[in-house]
Amino acid sequence: MKLEEKKGGFRCCNCGQRVPFSEFMGTAHRNHCPFCLWSKHVDLEKPGDRKSGCQAGMKPIGLTFKHEGVDKYGRLQQGELMLVHECTGCGKISINRIATDDDEKVILKVFEESQELNPERRNQLERDGIEILSEETREEILTQLFGKDFKST
C-alpha cells in the first residue's frame, strides 16, 4: 500500500488536488478525483487490484449506464450512471462508478464534451459493449444526478 493510501487518500494525477478516502463516497474503491474526474491506471484485471504497471492518467471521456440485465419481459434494465475513462498511456478503457462526492457540474461537462466524440471512436466503443450516452439520455442523466423531481429548463 502506498503511503498516501495509508494516510487515507491520494493526490490527483491531473489537477493535483488531495483526494481523501471516505466510507461515505459511494464506492468501495476510490479510483478517480471528485474535482476533475480523472483517474490513474492502477488496476489491471479487477477494481481494487492495483496491479497495473501503466500508471498513466485516465481521462473521463463520457458517461454510460451500468448493464443491469433484463426484466421479466426481456427488456434491458437501465442501471446507474457510470464514468468512462480512457488511459492516456495505453488506451485502456474502464467503466467506473460515480461517487457521491463527484462534482455534478464536471460530470455534465464530461457529458457535453462526449457529444463531440469522433463517430468512429464512438462506434468502436459500442462494438466493445460500451454505449457513450447521447443527447437523448439527457433527462435520465439529470434525474440520476439531481433526483426524480428535477426539472430541466
> How far is residue 76's CA from residue 56's CA, in Å, rounded to a whole number?
34
> How confident is the model at residue 42, as a pLDDT?
87
> How far is residue 98's CA from residue 66's CA, in Å, rounded to a whole number?
11
> How confident is the model at residue 22, as a pLDDT?
66
Quote the cell numbers at residue 61: 471521456
> How confident is the model at residue 3, as a pLDDT?
42
> How confident is the model at residue 4, as a pLDDT?
46
Question: What is the helix, strand, coil percentage profile of the chain, to 5?
Answer: 25, 25, 50
> How confident is the model at residue 142, as a pLDDT?
94
- Reduce the DSSP state of residue 76 to 3 states and report it: strand
> How far is residue 131's CA from residue 36's CA, in Å, rounded to a whole number?
22
Closest to 65 measured CA to CA, from 56, 76, 57: 76
Quote the cell numbers at residue 148: 426524480
> How far is residue 79's CA from residue 77's CA, in Å, rounded to a whole number?
6
Helix (H) or strand (E) holding 107: helix 104-114
| pLDDT, averaged in runs of 10, over the chain (153 residues) | 57 90 61 93 83 93 87 76 96 91 96 96 94 95 86 56
